[in-house]
Structure 1
Amino acid sequence: MNPYLDIIIRSTAVYLFMVVALRIFGKKELSQLNTADVILILLISNSVQNAMVGNDTTLWGGLAAATILFAINFILKKLTYRYKKFSDFMLEKPEILIHNGNLDFKNLSKLDITSDELKEAMREHGVEYFKDVKLAMLEIDGNISIISGESNLKQTHYKRRKNRKNLTQGI
């Protein structure tokens, strides 16, 4: 078999595996990387390198693997935008956390969002009480968006942090 065709097949298999694995284990956490998550990503990249390029550790082998990864990523993005069913499979949906002051305890529990975390997001948006929240959503990128009932809405950005101990993460 042609060594570059072998790299293409291996790289495609690894990429598709990673897409499925991230879909199963939760993409929402990607926007809230902590130290352990970064280490995991580095170790995964190291562990799958040989699976992609095999014995070919040349510059051309690495470039072939990188090129196919970019191409597959481009194709998946195009498919996501073109086909709704594929998009529904690949992308998470926003989740309602509070509607008209009423907390959705089922979603909060399912998403492992604590009361303190929700209150922190509300404070970031300038809202003090749950009853003042018209709508709170966990967005697909891990951000919590809050719309208050006030006429002068404030635009703020609250990035949900999965690891509460790591307070140095950017918001």
Structure 2
Amino acid sequence: MQALFQLSAPWWHFVLRAVLVYVMVMVLMRISGKRAVGQFTPFDLVLLILIGNAVQNGINGGDNSLTGAALMAGTLIVINYLVALAAARNARIQRLIEGAPVLLARDGQVFHAVLRRELVSEQDFQEALRQAGVENVNQVALAVLETNGHISVVPRQA
């Protein structure tokens, strides 16, 4: 029973590992782009599961104790809270973590190079137009890829 709670390394190893893996995964997710986060597909779910599995040993260092698991989970929750708090209170930190909205179209003109750079397919763009009740791109005043990966469409006023 005692083995369930006995750590295989000092407690601060687990905290340090959790912090480093959290930062690494956040950087990788940020690099992957807005669409990877905002438009969750079955492939993205598989990727998320595999990333979780890939970083597991990096966090726990082979320790399977309940104490280690509690330390790591607690550390990840605290880090996530602190990052959210910092982003809510500081615009520069928020922009660094979340990025900035990107203009995809204006006044009926679609910026195809921006669509490609942001990994937005023509089908996804057209779907966003339909969801906004826009039948033709000429009816678009603005189309913006938001920081959460969703496309906001503002129709032209009639």
Q: Quick check: TM above 0.5? A: yes
Any residues of structure 2 matched to 1:108-147 within 5 Å, and which?
108-147=115-154
Relative to its length, the structure with more helix (as a share) is 2
Deviation beyond 6 Å, 4+ runs, structure 1: none
* Aligned residue type for 1:23: R
What whole-Å deviation, never above 9, does each CA across 1:9-66 have from its counterpart, x for those lacking one? 1111111111111112224312222222222221221222222122321111101100
Distance, in Å, in 2 between the alignment partners of 1:144 and 1:43 is 27
* Aligned residue type for 1:38: L
Partner of 1:126: helix, strand, or coil?
coil
Aligned residue in 1 for 2:155 = 148
Partner of 1:146: helix, strand, or coil?
strand
Q: Highest relative contact order (Cα 8 Å, sep 6+), 1 or 2?
A: 2
**TM-score, normalised via structure 2 length:** 0.84
Aligned residue in 2 for 1:92 = 99
Shift of 1:149: 2.0
**Range with bigger deviation, 33-42 or 135-144:** 33-42
What whole-Å deviation, never above 9, does each CA across 1:47-86 have from its counterpart, x for those lacking one? 2222212232111110110000000111111121223322
Residues matched between the structures, number:
151
Partner of 2:24: helix, strand, or coil?
helix
Question: Where does structure 2 lack aligned partners over 5 or more consecutive residues?
Answer: 1-7
Asked whether the 8 Å contact 1:133–1:148 carries over to 2, the reply is yes
Asked whether the 8 Å contact 1:134–1:149 carries over to 2, the reply is yes
Distance, in Å, in 2 between the alignment partners of 1:94 and 1:9 is 33
Question: Where does structure 1 lack aligned partners over 5 or more consecutive residues?
Answer: 152-171
Partner of 1:6: helix, strand, or coil?
helix
Any residues of structure 2 matched to 1:155-170 within 5 Å, and which?
none
Aligned residue in 2 for 1:101 = 108
RMSD value, Cα: 2.0
